[in-house]
Structure 1
């Protein structure tokens, strides 16, 4: 195959291999052909066009294929947010493999566990790490230099049902669950008839942690649609940071969790409004605060606000709703919307479809569904099942969320059927934290309790424990030990030693009494 860079530099006879827009890298390659000189990425003042990005990805794909990356494998990538990270993720996909973007802030033990679980041929990183998996060290070069090397991506045969990404989320057993998501789960969101505009002239902020499925929306949304991805240089989005990115990078579209949205609304300075210049905001991950939304819409009537809902098992969003001022007065909260493209929502009781207005379990179907949990057939079978709906068998994901569909087909959230919660957009299984805590020396009983936020949802975690006689480890020591094994969002904000954990008359843990003791 003729090197892509040479073709794009003006060869007399230009030939491009087929680009399937149902594949993430295929859709990006198609945009590179349609608008090769358009900005694909902006980062710290550097502008990378589509031709350079795609050519660099081809070069890296050739390198990775030589290093043993093949279709059907999972490749962990441990790199900071940068244009080079984007090119390397594309390169993994061009090899027919799936990538697992790991958060560098995670404790080393968690990274080791995930790399081992992925059975990866290599770990893509900046430097050698003390892991059993061979490290492939990223070349110290600019994307333009990588593109100029002119490597050709390997010829592989995959389709939209092939695995593309692995997202790791909290697991009740104490081990993070790897959600294996296919190409179509991402590309379905940006087919041109989606819930928001990510196409040419849009500049989308990328600030979410790379391990989240929201990262896919912020990155692949614009890059598969012809827009521009503006990569934040910091891990935390503050009002001043957002205002600077709007001014300097031209950001007009941003995703933020409802907790972050509330914070920015509270901190918004009339003298330097942090939202001014945006055209679209996508939020969700937790129940929206009607009070904060009403204040925002009053001040920024020209900015479109979307409320999105979707577990990682259905990749980013399963439903979306354009929020209006009237939604803020809805007695049961702001709706979470109607299905995004190639997605279906059912309210079920077991295998039975419930009529509109009836509370039941939210079950999802369609192209957004994950293939399953990496290396865990039992958990996959428990969460994904085939249900006969009408006369046709339908594969569904049972979310554990409760909701109703109204007469217009709009979905409304009604809570959880278990103890799982979301805080700052992170899905949290208290059982994972409790399992890790019980392994610590001197710990006997453990209870992790979400602390409600004033505007609805939850704002932090509190952990209570009892100790094995005669010496109790200090709460500060327990918290430090947890921080060494768990990512920051799973480390309880406060840790409390108790001589005993309270129970109800039926012998169950009394969580309300624990909360009242804070």
Structure 2
């Protein structure tokens, strides 16, 4: 494996005048992006009163723009690691991240200088774009494949955020000769995800390290009603969406996908009815179910859904990426036979370094295979899965998503997939809520596929498929499931049922 910087510069050498990044009418070639990134590196290394060193952490808070891409490449070129900060992150969260990461400086918009002034680190801005005939500054540091590329903060169960340490080699493995999607110089990839969300890793580097064009979406969010016009106008060929945004787009405008060569979706369970609708409406579009924790660099397992594949009630997560090793491990700490459920352990080139300054958490989650020390290091995903005889892996839910109700363990993912298999249901979420009588009850929030929701029919359908303790006490019809800023189902925003209303029961 090589570094992101070296892989990018190979593309610069191959096609320097090819457009690398576009934002509206703004076009930036591979050579132009390289010159700009090298200028960012020079300012970081030889700045006025400031100098970064390899291994430093540089916070980045920039709008989706060519400046952002130049900044990321410039930071990596200095041997430093970038730490994404969301434009709307609250001050307390920013303070926690700055302190925890030991941020050396922050690169931000000029208008945000006052916002970051209180944190006691240099506030820097991306230098102006160099002229096309400007000489590129020389390389100051040879980046190694095992250098730290970024810290990606995720929510911690204790309320304290924890950062995943991703190395250059993890990124280059993700997008170099990928076995889950075809990427090349003729492709145009839309950059839609926030840079603080690891789907952006695939979007940005999947494009730039394969000689493709990275198309930057305008604004913070693109409404489903407007996405089709953007995709068609820019000639997008490869698109990534979270499961929630994928489902919503199909609900609002399935023809938006016409013209795409491939769409990747994931981050949550995909709905079979939505897949079927897309396959029917746009049969030429390849659909990929992408699965992977942040700890294993965006994707670890993917499934290319066949045009006529019978999915049954759930979409499998598929087979491992190139150079990735996946095992299904039982309670005894040993791999289980095909067909048996167990925890999904992920090894190989995508596994990150661990958690920044959290050796206790790293030791628990990143382990050496007890059945064979030569098998290498694995990340324990906490997800339940089983491998079919054909080698395809099926996702069964999360260990830590399980909850107990009246002594029974319930896996919400299993129930949600079953609900989504009913012809009246487009998508569903389940959870436990306390009722007006102070007892805990199982609730299903359902987006109907049509005008009405026959709750009696849903109960009969579920009784044929799941145990009685998994039958929801209430069914709440919603126009759509709430979605977080990262495009996942916002379970905290699901409304509390009106327990006194007869309509939720019948």
State the TM bucket, normalised to the shorter chain: 0.7 to 0.9
Matching residue within 317, 326, 349 for 1:345: 326
> Aligned to 1:392, which of 363, 366, 374?
374
- Contact (CA 8 Å) 2:107, 2:125: kept in 1 or not? yes
Q: Give the equivalent residue in structure 2 for 1:10.
A: none
Higher relative contact order, structure no. (Cα contacts within 8 Å, ≥ 6 residues apart): 1
Is 2:229 the counterpart of 1:247? no
After the TM superposition, which residues 91-490 of structure 1 pair with which residues of structure 2 at under 5 Å, given as runs? 91-126=74-109, 127-128=113-114, 129-139=116-126, 141=128, 143-145=129-131, 148=134, 150-156=136-142, 158-268=143-253, 273-331=255-313, 333-349=314-330, 350-390=332-372, 392-419=374-401, 455=420
Contact 1:77/1:125, CA 8 A, preserved across alignment: yes
Which 5+ residue runs of structure 1 have no aligned equivalent? 1-20, 422-448, 467-485, 498-515
Match of 1:48 among 14, 28, 39: 28
- Asked whether the equivalents of residues 460 and 492 of structure 1 are also in contact (C-alpha less than 8 Å), the reply is no
Cα pair distance change 1:491/1:133, threshold 3 Å: farther
Which has the larger displacement, 85-94 or 386-395?
Answer: 386-395
Distance 1:405 1:144, change over 3 A: same
In 1, distance between residues paired with 2:311 and 2:193? 30
Which residue of 2 is the match for residue 61 of structure 1? 41
1:88 is the counterpart of 2:71: yes
> Which has the larger displacement, 251-260 or 454-463?
454-463
Is the Cα contact below 8 Å between 1:464 and 1:495 reproduced in 2? no
What's the offset of the Cα at 1:405? 0.9
CA, structure 1 residues 459+109, in 2 after alignment: closer, same or farther (shift >3 Å)? farther
Relative to structure 1, the CA distance from residue 150 to residue 324 in structure 2 (aligned partners, 3 Å threshold; closer, same or farther) is closer
Say whether the 8 Å CA contact 2:189–2:213 is kept in structure 1.
yes
Length-normalised TM-score, structure 2 = 0.78
Q: Any conservation in 2 of the 1:22–1:160 contact (CA below 8 Å)?
A: yes
Larger displacement relative to structure 2 (185-194 or 404-413): 185-194
> Which string of whole-angstrom CA distances, capped at 9 and with x for unpartnered residues, describes residues 131-168 of structure 1?
33423321463x24498374334124x42122111111
Structure 1 counterpart of 2:493: 493
Tell me the secondary structure at the aligned position of residue 59 of structure 2: strand
Task: Output the CA distance in 2 between the equivalents of 1:99 and 1:139.
Answer: 14
Deviation at 1:33, TM superposition (A): 0.7
Distance 1:364 1:139, change over 3 A: closer
Q: Is the 8 A contact 2:197 2:486 kept in 1?
A: no
Instruction: Please give the secondary structure, in 2, of the residue aligned with 1:268.
Output: helix
Residue 274 of structure 1, CA deviation: 1.3
Query: Once the 2 structures are TM-superposed, how far is the Cα of residue 336 of structure 1 from its aligned partner?
Result: 0.5
Q: Deviations over 1:159-200 (max 9, x none)?
A: 212211111111101012111111111111222243112210
Give the 3 Å change call, closer, same or farther, for CA 249–382 of structure 1 in structure 2: same
Q: 1:30 aligns with which of 10, 16, 28?
A: 10
Distance 1:36 1:159, change over 3 A: same
SS of the residue 1:124 aligns to: strand
CA contact 1:56–1:146 (8 Å) conserved in 2: no
Contact 1:209–1:215 under 8 Å retained in 2? yes
| Residue 77 in structure 1 maps to residue 57 in structure 2 | no
CA distance in 2, matches of 1:325, 1:194: 18
Residues 19-68 of structure 1 deviation map (CA, whole Å, 9 limit, x = unaligned):
xx721121111101100000100102211100000111001101111232
Change (3 A) 1:200 1:277: same
Query: 2: CA distance between counterparts of 1:112 and 1:62?
Result: 27
1:57-108 C-alpha deviation (Å, 9 max, x unpaired): 0011011112322112221111111111101110111111111121112212
Following superposition, the deviation at residue 463 of structure 1 comes to 8.3
Runs of at least 5 residues in structure 2 that lack an aligned partner in the other structure? 404-411, 422-426, 437-484, 498-503
Is 284-293 or 21-30 further displaced after alignment?
21-30
Distance 2:57 2:14 in 1: 30
